[in-house]
């Protein structure tokens, strides 16, 4: 198990897969980021491709000026 994660992919005994993640500015309702999978990934695919367990975001400096953000 990678020490950077709280659990390993094998611990996902219920085959949970996140299929969408959205970040928005709550003040204006503007969607900043909306990532969707076409269909939920099979757990074996996740185990074989451990790199899929993280995302790296690069937001502009204006992101830090937002007063309230929401994530769904």
Q: What is the pLDDT of residues 4-49, one digit of tens each?
A: 677 887 888 888 877 788 999 999 999 998 888 765 555 445 444 5
Pairwise CA distance, residues 67 & 25, whole Å: 8
Q: For the whole prediction, is pTM greater than 0.75? A: no
pLDDT in tens, 14-25: 888 777 889 999
Map out the domains of the chain with their CATH numbers: 9-71 (2.70.50.40)
The single residue listed with the structure tokens 């709550």 is 26
């Amino acid at each position: 198990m990678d020490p950077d994660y709280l659990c390993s992919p094998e611990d996902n005994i219920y085959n949970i897969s996140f299929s969408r993640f959205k970040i928005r500015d709550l003040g204006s309702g503007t969607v900043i980021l909306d990532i969707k999978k076409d269909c939920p990934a099979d757990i074996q695919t996740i185990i074989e491709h451990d790199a899929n367990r993280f995302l790296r975001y690069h937001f502009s400096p204006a992101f830090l000026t937002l007063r309230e953000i929401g994530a769904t």
